[in-house]
Amino acid sequence: MKYILTGLFALSFCFTQAQEKKSEVKPNYQLAAKFSPSKLRTMIFSTEVKPNYINYSDKFWYEYITSSGKNWYIVDPTTRKKNHLFDNAEMAAQVTSIVKNPFDAQHLPIQNLRFLDNSDKIIRFEVQSTKDTTKSKDEIKKLTNKRDSLKKKLFHFEYDIVAKQLQEISDTTKESSKPNWAIFNPDTTKVYFAKNYNIYWMDYNNYKKALKDEKDSTIIEHQITKDGVQFYAWGGDQYSTTTGDSKAEIEAKKKRNPIRINWSPDGKYFSITRKNNRHLSALWVIHNVGKTRPELETYKYLMPGEVDSTETELHIFDTANHQPRKVNIEAFKNQTLSLWNKDQSKDNFKGKHYINYWLGNNQEFYIARSSRDLKRIDILAVNVDGSIRVLVEERMNVYQDVQKPKLIAAGKQFIHWSQRDGWGHYYLYDINGKLIHQITKGEFHCNDLSAYQESTGTLFFQANGKEKDVDPYYNFLYSVNKNGGAIKLLTPGNYDHQLEGNENANYFIANFSRVNTTPQSNLYSSSGQLIMKLEEADLTQLFAAGYKFPEPFKVKAGDGITDIYGVMYKPYDFDSTRTYPLIEYVYPGPQTEAVNKSFGRSMDRIDRLAQMGFIVVSVGNRGGHPSRSKWYHTYGYGNLRDYGLEDKKVAAEQLADRYPFIDINRVGITGHSGGGFMSTAAMLVYPDFFKVAVSGAGNHENNIYNRWWSERHHGVEEVISSKGDTSFNYNISKNTELAKNLKGKLLIATGDVDNNVHPANSIRMVDALIKANKRFDFLLLPGQAHAFGNMNEYFFWKMADYFSEHLLGESKSYEVDMIEINKERPLSR
């Protein structure tokens, strides 16, 4: 009996060992390397149709790439015809005979294709050759080394679509590009620009001189303003960035720069805002690499709760005498003004020149005025005489969003978007600010007024959450009459839809997919009738490499009531008999959620990470995406550090209960920017649940992140003293306050010239961890800004190493060379 029991025990032990061995997952560097960004570029081609409308008609052309090469198509919706713009083989032969470089149908390097104005039969484009030619005199003047006077010749072509004839044209016939500083008035007789932080203008004849030579000493300029200075400019300092190179900055001041002005339709007035930022404190990053000496970059940066002692000014200029009128627009301290432009249409163009009209008529224009805490928003009509009318007042106890109204009925009415009932909806007003009625209503979110047909009174709008039993983040196109009535769905199907239309609103293109479907593109009429199927993406090479679609899922939030939606990414060699660590890829919002809804080519930090041997998920959280209810969107208001963490934790627990291949005892978390902040917070708030985190460019101390994001989403308290003075208090929990809670493995990464989320956020987190006597890891990426630039690939493999080592127990971190990167690059001589 003893021997029998011993044998049974041995058999049981062997079976247990076999089970454990079967459950082991080792990091699969080779599989992850197969789906690097450089390799994906040869496996994923066009995934959407981007129409180029021909001379403001309903006809359009587009280009589309598959594994067979690039093709160009022209579509006429009225006749339901789609044709090749030209025969690729014939075009390749004609181009080759002129350029003398060989091309074929699959390899046509056509650049800058466009239709000739007022023609749907003639196109122009360029082709780069390998032939050497001498640079122009102007180009040679700018050279520091005269030996660089040669360049590869660029051939300019004109092609007759009907006659199928190609001819080379002189580069002088090529439309000259307008310099970015030239802002035309509506009759195009004058050009306005900024210089030395002031407003100038020149007539058209002098503008033509500037096109030939910007430094022509005979150019006559007229100075309008004279009191503009840096940080209190009329124009020319949009970014307010300096490098400490005084000589370069003096030269930059002398250059012409664009100016942000909005014109009245008759061209008699223009409006502009101005703000004195001189008192605002500076922030700095040091460029340690790339220059002979480290270079200091200085920029103005307003942090939450800081004193802002000046207000945005609104000025109206009368072009008869160029005298400004300052508008008395003040209502809230530190208010924000939103100046709106007329919707772009063919009316914006005078010849080849674009005119930036204000939203309004000759006598008044429409803007928004928002309080600093965004709880109060006014829609205003501003008269050219400086008087204002309040058309709509929006008030709420949390921050609000605002959208540009749509003027209709010859300017006698407007469509206004509001969240006043807890959902984003449209309301019809007369131009005096009287509410006529609510146009859309219900538990769904309208997010974009895409078009309006004046002849029928029809709104075409995009919305989320209206279709039952469909992911509420999927975007759909609808139509409804301005007088109300039934809302019509124009893009049926359980997909996320990205829409492309034109100002005529007769037809539109729907690019649609899910994360688990191949992208398709269809053409529809404004009534929702399918005109034709345009394209389906070519993913054959992607699937041949072993790609498999991820899987959408739905779980409950921490309250057990709210549905939250996510996507699961598995290794392509997934084995359901094994157990895998779980990694959450996170971004807390609230302006968005890091959950893909449609197929995309960006597989860098989610799909590819899963191939290392992980189950990777991205899932929403209360307080995330704005395309749900206002309650959902503002759930984290006042608690911007911790609000999303519970939902990330309970989502992982529910998935582990649902799927036995998930090991709930090995959970990692990662994210970038807000996700970097959130992943570190998760390690500190739930230190016994989250075991490993890789946090990139995190805003760990939101008190030193920018005022706009921090105050908007967390909230700022407006305090009015007994004397009537207004101040603003800001208080927020920070990751650094919880450094003592760290138990797991944490890697913090930042670029040293991140002028968005300043490196001080990561350095302060490092400081707090050191003072708490914690072991952790820190990665500094030299010369990299917020997105990590050309070191993004290096960061991916450091992240892969880190999770592999601490969740799988094995990695290549002991190897010096990252051969996965090295194999992608040719050896340098």
Tell me what pLDDT residue 245 has: 56
Integer angstrom CA distances of residue 823 from 33, 38, 295, 366: 9, 11, 34, 57
Lowest pLDDT segment from 119-133, 240-254, 301-315, 599-613: 240-254
Lowest pLDDT segment from 136-145, 337-346, 372-381, 808-817: 136-145
* Torsion angle defined by CA atoms of residues 816, 819, 820 and 826, in that order, rounded to the nearest 10 degrees: 130
Tell me how far apart the alpha carbons of residues 570 and 566 are, in angstroms, rounded to a whole number: 13
> What phi and psi values does residue 702 have, to the nearest 5 degrees?
-70, -10
The stretch 572-580 carries a mean pLDDT of: 97
Is the pLDDT reported for residue 20 higher than 60? no
Q: Encoding tokens for residue 753?
A: 């010239």
Which band of pLDDT confidence, cut at 50, 70 and 90, is reported for residue 823? confident
pTM of the model: 0.93
Is the pLDDT reported for residue 175 higher than 60? no
Tell me what pLDDT residue 591 has: 87
Is the pLDDT reported for residue 238 higher than 80? no
Tell me how far apart the alpha carbons of residues 291 and 481 are, in angstroms, rounded to a whole number: 60
The stretch 786-810 carries a mean pLDDT of: 97
pLDDT per residue over 262-300, tens digit each?
999 999 999 999 999 999 899 999 999 988 999 999 988
Lowest pLDDT segment from 652-661, 719-728, 769-778: 719-728
Burial class (CB in 10 A: 0-12, 13-18, 19+), 582: buried
Tell me how far apart the alpha carbons of residues 537 and 421 are, in angstroms, rounded to a whole number: 40
> Could you write out the DSSP letters of every residue in 502-514?
-TT-SEEEEEEE-
CB contact at 8 A, 667 and 582: yes
Q: Encoding tokens for residue 813?
A: 């971190």
**Arithmetic mean of pLDDT over the chain:** 92
Is the pLDDT reported for residue 126 higher than 70? yes
Tell me what pLDDT residue 18 has: 41
Tell me what pLDDT residue 176 has: 63
- Per the model's pLDDT, the better-predicted residue between 16 and 57 turns out to be 57
Which band of pLDDT confidence, cut at 50, 70 and 90, is reported for residue 788? very high
Tell me what pLDDT residue 552 has: 97
Burial class (CB in 10 A: 0-12, 13-18, 19+), 299: middle
pLDDT per residue over 585-604, tens digit each?
999 889 888 899 999 877 77
Where does 168-294 have alpha helices with state H? 204-212, 246-254
Is the pLDDT reported for residue 16 higher than 50? no
Is the pLDDT reported for residue 401 higher than 60? yes
CB contact at 8 A, 703 and 730: yes
Tell me what pLDDT residue 825 has: 79
Integer angstrom CA distances of residue 37 from 28, 539, 790, 795: 17, 15, 12, 13
Tell me what pLDDT residue 161 has: 96
pLDDT per residue over 78-89, tens digit each?
999 999 999 999
Amino acid at 594: A
Start-to-end CA distance of the chain, whole Å, equals 74
The stretch 796-816 carries a mean pLDDT of: 96
Q: What share of the chain is helix, strand, coil (3-state, %, to 5)?
A: 20, 35, 45
Is the pLDDT reported for residue 5 higher than 70? no
Tell me how far apart the alpha carbons of residues 393 and 416 are, in angstroms, rounded to a whole number: 11
Tell me what pLDDT residue 467 has: 96
Which band of pLDDT confidence, cut at 50, 70 and 90, is reported for residue 799? very high
Instruction: Write down all domains in the chain, each with its CATH number in brackets.
Output: 86-173 (no CATH), 406-514+516-545 (2.120.10.30), 550-701+734-813 (3.40.50.1820)
The stretch 710-732 carries a mean pLDDT of: 92
> Which DSSP symbol is given to 104?
B
Tell me what pLDDT residue 11 has: 45
Is the pLDDT reported for residue 22 higher than 70? no
Amino acid at 280: L
Tell me how far apart the alpha carbons of residues 754 and 734 are, in angstroms, rounded to a whole number: 19
The stretch 709-713 carries a mean pLDDT of: 92
Tell me what pLDDT residue 143 has: 64
- Per the model's pLDDT, the better-predicted residue between 776 and 243 turns out to be 776
Lowest pLDDT segment from 13-22, 405-414, 756-765, 786-795: 13-22
pLDDT per residue over 413-452, tens digit each?
999 999 999 999 999 999 999 999 999 999 999 999 999 9
Tell me how far apart the alpha carbons of residues 278 and 764 are, in angstroms, rounded to a whole number: 28
Is the pLDDT reported for residue 584 higher than 60? yes
Tell me how far apart the alpha carbons of residues 24 and 410 are, in angstroms, rounded to a whole number: 70
Which band of pLDDT confidence, cut at 50, 70 and 90, is reported for residue 244? low
User: pLDDT above 70 covers what percent of the chain?
Assistant: 93
Q: Which of 132-141, 426-435, 495-504, 632-641 shows the highest mean pLDDT?
A: 426-435
For CA atoms 83, 88, 91, 93, give the dihedral sign. negative
Is the pLDDT reported for residue 17 higher than 50? no
- Per the model's pLDDT, the better-predicted residue between 313 and 118 turns out to be 313
Is the pLDDT reported for residue 815 higher than 60? yes
Is the pLDDT reported for residue 58 higher than 80? yes
Tell me what pLDDT residue 236 has: 86
Is the pLDDT reported for residue 145 higher than 70? no
Tell me what pLDDT residue 23 has: 55
